[in-house]
Amino acid sequence: MRLHDDTIALVRERARILDQFGDGQLKRTGREFLARCPWHDDHRPSLTVSPRTNRVFCFVCARGADSIGWLQDTQGLSFTDAILQLADRYNVEVKAADEADAERLRAESAERVRLFETRAQQLERFSSDLLFSPGLEYLQGRGLTMETIEQWQLGWNGRRVMFPLWDAQGRCIAFTGRVLDDSKPKYKNSPNDLLYQKAEQVYGLHFARDEIVRTGHVVVVEGQFDVIRCWQEGLRNLVAVSGSSLTSAMVEKIVRTTRAKKVTLCFDGDTGGLKAADRALRELQQLVLQGELELQVLSLPAGQDPADLAPDMAHLLESAPHWVKWWLEREVGQVDLTDPQQIARAESGFRRILQVLPDGALREYVRRECKARLNSMPLIPAALVRTTRQLDACLWAERRALRLYLLDEGSRPALQDVSYTDPVNQYGRDLVLAIEGMAPNQPEQLRPLFSKLLCRAPGDVRDKLMPLAWPIPEVTRVITDNPVGELEAALTVLASEACQV
């Protein structure tokens, strides 16, 4: 859906840049504020946060953003999602760009209201039905107090205990029902609809958010009951995947909304739990290796889940091993070194681990373990992993080069050979080449023609490239004052090892 210009303009006007920072992130200097720049390795705060221009700007990176761009960058949102999030926060009416979209938007919003009302009524009915049902006895038998049952608004519907599922604002969007006996299916979710998409749902995030934000640590368990039982025990940073596998999209959602830095996977020690942990590990590997997250994995004794172990969980979580250590034990922990077949299996286990690890301390640790246990060392080349910050630095250097190309004729010869890896930047480069082909002897026409033609590009491409042709005044000043410095800054990053693919 493309948003109406009025909506975008109103969000731009109302969203205040200062609101995008938490207490303690800002230092006042006169009428402006300083914060750490997230785009370079910033030791003394060099990001100016200006209420006057309603933007952030870093002179070191020659990079700035308004509230929308800031949300996009720091939370990994698309332009539209950033607008929608800010529109919600600043009470801006969301309008679609064309009539067909607008009609759909109205219909969807009416359907949402209806669904929320239905869920609220169900919530009330299920809660009151619980009081005279076998469900209450079951929940109390599993150690829940009345207070906890009420807090989590557990309910009863026919044969099932009902667990309400919540959205980020704490509204009930769906239910999971659990049977008390062994009949199948054991768990049943509401059907997917406008409010609820099973694959994206992380159970308990709404309750756990504050504690995750406070500690930077989120614990992921398998079942809803585990979350609630541990909550009662005072462990309040737990969420559950409840029946589906943990995907990197779920983790990104958690990390985006809580800034969590550390994830502990806590799965049952039976075969199903171990397989779930394997899958989750594969999903998260990239994020972890890019330096975005710390990861630990705790496998509980087979047959026991966090709910059974609730009083000891805090202690158990403290002892959770680093993911590489856990993986290593899983692959080679039980090896009988007198059995050649087992030794061969252990060696391929070590190979699998070494294949994904880039050069560094972790890889050295695994190599040492391999040497110690098998007295041999498989030859596996180190994986090449760029951290998110490196990826971003390369991408930004490309943008800086393209911007300089558009703005400074004198720098163009030096920038001819830059190779662009990002598709949007490639689009910009292709546009430049096309214009130069059309108007070969009019270098001063490049920038105006570029922005004219860009109007026909897809919305997100246009949003990303237009600021390169028409940057904010601070950036224009940096470039006119010192084009050679700007050229050097861009080329230095592009020539660095991290940007050589």
58 or 218: CB nearest Zn ion: 58
Please provide the size of the chain in residues.
501
Report if residue 399 touches Zn ion, rule: CB under 5 A.
no
Smallest distance from Zn ion to CB 31, Å: 21
Residue 266 bridge partners (DSSP): 298
Quick check: helix, strand or coil at residue 179? strand
Q: Which of 228, 270, 222 is nearest to 242 (CA)?
A: 222
- Report how far Cα 119 is from the mean position of its chain's Cα atoms: 28
| Binds Zn ion (CB under 5 A): choice among 3, 35, 58, 394 | 58
The burial of 402, by beta-carbon neighbours within 10 Å (0-12 exposed, 13-18 middle, 19 or more buried), is given as buried
- For residue 468, the tally of other CB atoms under 10 A from its CB is 24
Task: Provide, rounded to whole angstroms, the least separation between the CB of residue 53 and Zn ion.
Answer: 17
Torsion of CA 335, 339, 340, 343, to 10 degrees: 10
- If the CB atoms of residues 47 and 84 are measured against Zn ion, the closer one turns out to be 47
Minimum distance from residue 401 beta carbon to Zn ion (Å) = 17
Two tokens, residue 5: 């210009």
CB of 493 to Zn ion, least distance (A): 12
**Residue 144: CB minimum distance to Zn ion, A:** 50
Nearer Cβ to Zn ion (72/224): 72
Q: Is 62 a residue that touches Zn ion (CB under 5 A)? A: no
Q: How far apart are CA 382 and CA 380, in angstroms?
A: 6
The closest of 350, 328, 346, 329 to 337, measured between CA atoms, is 346
State in angstroms the smallest separation of the CB of 33 from Zn ion. Answer: 15
Of 47 and 284, which has the nearer Cβ to Zn ion?
47
Q: Does 37 interact with Zn ion (rule: CB under 5 A)?
A: yes
Cβ 274 to Zn ion shortest distance, Å: 43
Cα separation, 277 vs 222, in Å, equals 10
Residue 56 touches Zn ion, criterion: CB under 5 A: no
Q: Which has the closest alpha carbon to 202: 160, 172, 244, 236?
A: 244
Indicate whether 61 belongs to the interface with Zn ion (CB under 5 A): yes
Contact segment (CB under 5 A) with Zn ion among 59-67, 163-171, 280-288, 348-356 equals 59-67
Pick one of 9, 60, 168, 377: the residue that binds Zn ion (CB under 5 A).
Answer: 60
Report if residue 39 touches Zn ion, rule: CB under 5 A: yes
- Residue 489 binding Zn ion, by CB under 5 A: no
Contact window for Zn ion (CB under 5 A) among 37-45, 258-266, 358-366, 452-460: 37-45
Give the Cα separation of 66 and 82 in Å (integer): 11
For the chain, the C-alpha Rg in angstroms (whole number) is 27
- How many angstroms separate the CA atoms of 398 and 490, rounded? 7
Output 59 or 470, the one with its CB closest to Zn ion: 59
Kind of pairing between the strands at 187-189 and 217-221: unpaired
- Binding part of the chain for Zn ion, among 24-32, 38-46, 115-123, 172-180 by CB under 5 A, reads 38-46
Task: List the one residue from 4, 40, 209, 236 that touches Zn ion (CB under 5 A).
Answer: 40
Q: Which residues bind Zn ion (CB under 5 A)?
A: 37, 39-40, 58, 60-61
